[in-house]
Amino acid sequence: MKISVRKRFIALDQPFRVAFGTISGLDVVEVEASDGGAVGRGECCPMGIYGQDADATLAEIEAIAPLLRSGELDRLTLQSAMPARSARNALDCALWDLEAKRSGRSVWEIAGLPAPGKITSDVTIGIMAPEATAKIAATLRGASMIKLKLGGEADLECVAAVRSVLPDIPLFVDVNAGWTLERLNAMAPRLADAGVFMIEQPLPPQDDHLLDEYNHAVRLCADESCHDRTDLDRLVDRYDYVNIKLDKTGGLTEGLALAEAARAMGFRLMVGCMLGSGLAMAPAYMVASLCEVVDLDVPLIVKDRADAGVHHDGRRLHRFPRELWG
């Protein structure tokens, strides 16, 4: 097997502000795994908030590649040979794609999942002034669900701005670990009154134990606090949802296993993503078919439309072509 890897930059159409900073684009790492006849591809987006970057991810993939080339590792043994993070994600997804191309079967068939058609997905509004928030919300009347980023200077005013133009649309908020317990307990009842159905990652992961004192006015979703199955036990009774992202799980293999384990433990399921092209969205689409909340709206915000890959019509994701992946 031949393994090749490269880094490239994906730019956003507009800068996007979240609680930990403003993003205008990010480096992604692409992997190709080929056996001389078929080629499988995968992509990951290493994030600094998890102590990862593209150059270190390239080096990590290149270090493990000889074991894949020699046949000493395959997709399943890769799970214990590498930690659950971005490098393994790119390799894992490339190996899923390669298996599909070799066998002539779809990834859906290999995974034992039904192939859905269109999947309802949200649209995200970043942190901005309330007036700008209302202006953006007014363009999203056809959306199926809104995710609003909070952790700025005017959180409640931004929620009110969305509700002023979209009074009935399903709405949840994402704090990206930007609050304290005191702020969460103060904000949650107000958000409940505004019809917010979920708060994503209100506190830093190291403060999860403080959620034992949360007033539970709104359901919570673990994002930064949930990477793979090893995290689930400590999330019980603190979070209601888990957000499955393949760059956190280390690929589709663990992503599907996490979904099964989380659901068995009573968690509700959400799927999200880092920045990426359609090559990253396609395997996440598979997880989306299992989830109640789908947050895969990156195709709407990348600058180069060729990067979108998976079509998002502002309300739904359309199933990706097999030429792209799987």
Residues recognised as catalytic: 149, 245
Q: HSE on the CB side for 321, CA within 13 Å?
A: 5
Q: What is the dihedral of CA 99, 102, 108, 112, to 10 degrees?
A: -70
Judged by DSSP in three states, 166 sits in coil
Q: How far apart are CA 319 and CA 49, in angstroms?
A: 30
- Strand ranges (E), 19-105: 21-34, 39-44
79 membership: H or E segment, kind and range: helix 75-81
Among all chains, which residue has been given the structure tokens 């790119």?
90
Q: How far apart are CA 301 and CA 223, in angstroms?
A: 21
The string of DSSP letters for 190-232 reads HHHHTTEEEEE--S-GGGGGGGGG---SSEEEESTT-SSGGGH
Query: β-strands 316-317, 293-294: how paired?
Result: unpaired
CA angle 87, 275, 67 (to 5 degrees): 15
